[in-house]
Structure 1
Amino acid sequence: MSPQDTLNALLRKPRIRPCSEIETLPGLYLLYDHTETPRYIGETGNLQKRVYLNHCSGDENSHKWVCHYNHGRLWHSRKSPATDAVDGAVAKALRAKLARRFCSARVLPLPGLTDKGARKALEKAVRAIAPDPMNDWNDQKLIPTCAPDELIDQLLDELGWDAVQRASLDAQQARWLKKNSVSHHV
């Protein structure tokens, strides 16, 4: 399949919420943020693992929704001395739920494309012709972070999270603010 045919096929796929029913096949995917803006085109050997698990609940690094929403009450960095393991785990859990509830993806299974090098080459060719802003998060070590507070509050209410869980999130936000205040004034 040509890069243009691949991009067209990807864009014809329905946008879905990240869920465990995503196929475990290799393929390409396109991530959308909570504003319904397409931000990232990726390839993987296992669509379910990459989209549902890694991008929603992995650690910072190449997991785009994790990076984008690693802010304020949703902040957690297992490598930072400023975080708290218990409060951070609560923030990380809510961050994954936020991505799964308010973000979406298009997934294009390519069962015959098991060679990683071939998938990478196809991804690169598709990205080269993809319109803006589909590549906003590609090739970025640090993507802009945000915390959509209205959606976070809505989700907390939907989930019925108690005062203890909410206090953990508030503590993480205080740590995040302190960490960022120090790093911006040094």
Structure 2
Amino acid sequence: MIDQLLDVSSSMKGEPLACAAQAALLLARAASLTSTRVRITAFNVGFQEIVEPGADFEYARQQISGLEAAGGTRLHTALEHVLRTSPARPSEVHVVNIICDGELAPNDYETCTKLVKDARARDVRFIPILIGDATGAYLDWQRAFGSAVPCQDLSSLVSTLKATLTALRARIS
């Protein structure tokens, strides 16, 4: 089961959101082809599930193509939601992928760190991908999530996501 959290704050307007949407489409398509369950949640100061597990690809495509950037960035409420409501089955590994372009507030990092620690105890895996200028916050993300993948070149976001998920799958198998 893959939970993907997409930053849709106002700083994502334009190319960053277009690239993040392309990565979400890739994930939705790959999930559809491999019968992998995926849930996609957009976040800014709030959050909204835009694709539920089991949704068909055409529905996912429509939902993802309708994303708009607005507001600030607050991750912990969306992260808490996906961890609390995870539809992962006992036989599934729960992977949380986050695509974000900005630094988080200190209290956001603090809350995320606690959520991640508790979730890791349940064997949840995290793949935060930092795009564009967010690579400057790399160490903060690494402390909060245990890892972080920098991706300064937006055009390589899709290939970065694919390579990271493929490497995780090889380690899990």
TM over 0.5: no
Question: TM-score if structure 1 supplies the norm length?
Answer: 0.23
Structure of greater Rg: 1
* Higher strand proportion (structure 1 or 2): 2
Higher relative contact order (CA 8 A, sep 6+): 1
